[in-house]
Amino acid sequence: MPSDDEALLSVTGLEVSFRTHEGLRPVVHGVDLRVARGERVAVVGESGSGKSTTAAAVIGLLPGTGTVSGGRVSFAGEDVTHADEKRLQRLRGREIGLIPQDPMSNLNPATRVGHQVAETLLAHRLAGRSAARKRAVELLGEAGIPEPERRYRQYPHELSGGLRQRVLIAIALACEPDLLIADEPTSALDVTVQRGILDHLERLRAERGASLLFVTHDLGLAADRADRVVVMSQGRIVEEGPAARILREPQHEYTKALVAAAPSLASARAAREAAATPDAAPAGSGSEPILVVDDLVRSFRIRGRSERLTAVDHVSFEVRPGTTTAVVGESGSGKTTLARLVLGLDTPDAGEVRVDSEHVATATGARRRAIRRAMQPVFQDPYASLDPMFTVEHLVDEPLRVFKVGDRASRRSRVAELLDHVALPRSVAQRHPTELSGGQRQRVAIARALALEPRLMVCDEAVSALDVLVQDQILTLLGDLQRDLGLTYLFITHDLAVVRLVAHDVVVMQQGTVVESGPVEAVFDAPEAGYTRELLAAIPGAGLVS
């Protein structure tokens, strides 16, 4: 760690608290952090670890009732801990640039994007109106936005997520700040887009000689992009050191768990282990497929355009019982439409989906209900997919009530049994989803899906909204359930690293078509399609482990 004198940013004993009814509640406890000139430091931790709060405290933008209740923040030798609003205004944007997390929500929807860049220059009186406009166009171009002149005049909703993130980078770099704070700058983006943007950001940062404080939940990404990694947990720094050292020889228990759970790293290890051990015969081989997707087509009309968008374009594959087939692709690849078609929530234009040789789209009455029972979904967002007004018991036994299974007493004991299956204490039955953590909620969603003893579970991004450690637990749970109950999974995900950990077979989708499919080992070790290779290369941190 650089000494206080040479550090550009120096945080000493920082304590941040939130005002509650019971008084001040500290969430960041005595954090010490230094960033030298030109240095790249990553702060890694799960949600709630205090990493973003620490970054927000540096620029005096703590949310809600947050306040710095102890310690010191100094920038370029000047104490700015309790600086007044005027001083902070100069600090923000001019001396410290912030690249926020979500490109969808961080641009003013009512203002042209170019103006949002120019505004920064105008606020700091670095240029007059026309000069600021001209410079903003240049900045958009430098941030890697094609046709910057045209894009300048567009509104945020007219730009893709990747382009919006580039606009945010242009804004952060506009005044050539000495320090860039990047708070999960690409976690809302697809991996290939993420890689392009981070490479570009690194180039711009290096040219300007700026320092970087990189906040992320992804240890692999942190190791890829920073010289030094600081690991935070529950508001404290638990470990710090050079990136490669942290990954290879983590000292603290928490860091060890994090390294073990990070899918990008774990999948790299899985690859080595797979190479070392002879391949066990995959379950269910030779038996009849449980799910057949045959030449499926689904297109949508887009408002204001004549041509239709083909979301699923002649897709075929089979899923063997007791195995996991992953469908992987980036946003817009059609994987969610495919999931809806498989579940019978949407009707295909052509082709068919068969579950146990029954046609999903055309089955009616008892046969349709039988298919519905055999196949249950688990969705991405456990905060949105559980009705907050219901108790956990009510949520889990709902499918039983809908299908009129058992009486009240038998349903109650079944719920208890299901909670055991997903490793939740039986006492949560009478609680509401709002009282549970994200991981617990996803367990409830899985318990609900298990209620009817389905044979096939369709998991649509079922672990994407969860922190790595929780994600690891849920993946383990799914694996255990598969082994104990002989479940089959159709696992829809954007995350190739997760695929390697859980799937037997993989289907890679791009713009509605299947570009490659086959056993996971074959696809990962010898990818044929260029797109698959690109996806694999974009998994962060993989190179550091092997």
Partner 1 sequence: MARYLLVRLLQSLVTLVLASMVVFAGVRALPGDPARALAGEDADPAAVAAIRARLGLDDPLPVQYLKFVGNLLHGDLGTSVRTGQPVIDLIKATLPVTLWLSLFAVLIAVVVGIGAGTAAAVWRGRWPEWVANLAALVGLSVPSFWLGILAILYLAVGLHWFPASGYVPLTDDPLRGIYYLVMPAAVLGTALAAVVMRQTRASMIATLTTDYVRTARAKGLPRSKVLTGFALRNSMIVVVTIVGLQLGGLISGAVVTERIFGLPGFGKLTLDSVFTRDYPVIEAVVLVVTVAYIVINLVVDLVYSLINPRIRVGGRTS
Residues of this chain that interact with partner 1 (CB under 8 A) are 59, 61, 63-64, 85, 89-94, 98, 100-102, 105-111, 119-120, 123-124, 154-155, 157-160, 168, 171, 174-175, 304
Cα–Cα distance list, 439 to 298, 324, 383, 446, 461 (Å):
33, 21, 10, 11, 14
Instruction: Supply the minimum distance, in Å, between the C-beta of residue 296 and partner 1.
Output: 26
CB nearer to partner 1: give 23 or 109.
Answer: 109
- Separation between Cα atoms, residue 2 and residue 371, nearest integer Å: 63
Instruction: Supply the minimum distance, in Å, between the C-beta of residue 274 and partner 1.
Output: 41
CB nearer to partner 1: give 241 or 332.
Answer: 332
Instruction: Supply the minimum distance, in Å, between the C-beta of residue 470 and partner 1.
Output: 24
- Separation between Cα atoms, residue 46 and residue 517, nearest integer Å: 33
Question: Are the C-beta atoms of residues 42 and 226 closer than 8 Å to each other?
Answer: yes
- Three-state SS at 331: coil
Q: Which H or E element spans position 401?
A: helix 392-402
Where b means 16+ CB within 10 Å and e means fewer, 246-282 reads bbeebeeebbeebbebbbbbbbbbbbeebeeeeeeee
Q: And the tokens for 228? A: 């030094």
- Separation between Cα atoms, residue 527 and residue 520, nearest integer Å: 10
- Three-state SS at 387: coil
Instruction: Supply the minimum distance, in Å, between the C-beta of residue 518 and partner 1.
Output: 35
Instruction: Supply the minimum distance, in Å, between the C-beta of residue 480 and partner 1.
Output: 38
CB nearer to partner 1: give 87 or 134.
Answer: 87
CB nearer to partner 1: give 93 or 144.
Answer: 93
Backbone angles phi, psi at 492, to 5 degrees: -90, 125
Backbone angles phi, psi at 101, to 5 degrees: -75, -55
CB nearer to partner 1: give 95 or 239.
Answer: 95
Instruction: Supply the minimum distance, in Å, between the C-beta of residue 213 and partner 1.
Output: 13
CB nearer to partner 1: give 37 or 124.
Answer: 124
- Separation between Cα atoms, residue 126 and residue 148, nearest integer Å: 20
What's the burial of 298, exposed, middle or buried (CB within 10 Å: 0-12/13-18/19+)? buried
Backbone angles phi, psi at 370, to 5 degrees: -65, -40
CB nearer to partner 1: give 93 or 250.
Answer: 93
CB within 8 A of 452, min separation 6: which ones?
A: 373, 376, 399, 400, 403, 405
Q: And the tokens for 460? A: 């649509």
CB within 8 A of 500, min separation 6: which ones?
A: 263, 267, 270, 271, 520, 524
Neighbours of 301 (CB within 10 A): 10
CB nearer to partner 1: give 108 or 251.
Answer: 108
- Which among 266, 189, 193 is positioned nearest to 500, based on CA atoms? 266
Instruction: Supply the minimum distance, in Å, between the C-beta of residue 80 and partner 1.
Output: 13
CB nearer to partner 1: give 89 or 476.
Answer: 89
Q: How many CA atoms lie within 13 A of 27 on its CB side?
A: 21
CB nearer to partner 1: give 52 or 517.
Answer: 52
CB nearer to partner 1: give 150 or 483.
Answer: 150
CB nearer to partner 1: give 1 or 309.
Answer: 309
Instruction: Supply the minimum distance, in Å, between the C-beta of residue 165 and partner 1.
Output: 12
- Separation between Cα atoms, residue 246 and residue 223, nearest integer Å: 8
Instruction: Supply the minimum distance, in Å, between the C-beta of residue 172 and partner 1.
Output: 8
Task: Indicate the Cα dihedral angle 48, 53, 55, 56, nearest 10°.
Answer: 150
- Three-state SS at 538: coil
Instruction: Supply the minimum distance, in Å, between the C-beta of residue 161 and partner 1.
Output: 11
Neighbours of 452 (CB within 10 A): 17
CB nearer to partner 1: give 19 or 367.
Answer: 19
Instruction: Supply the minimum distance, in Å, between the C-beta of residue 171 and partner 1.
Output: 6
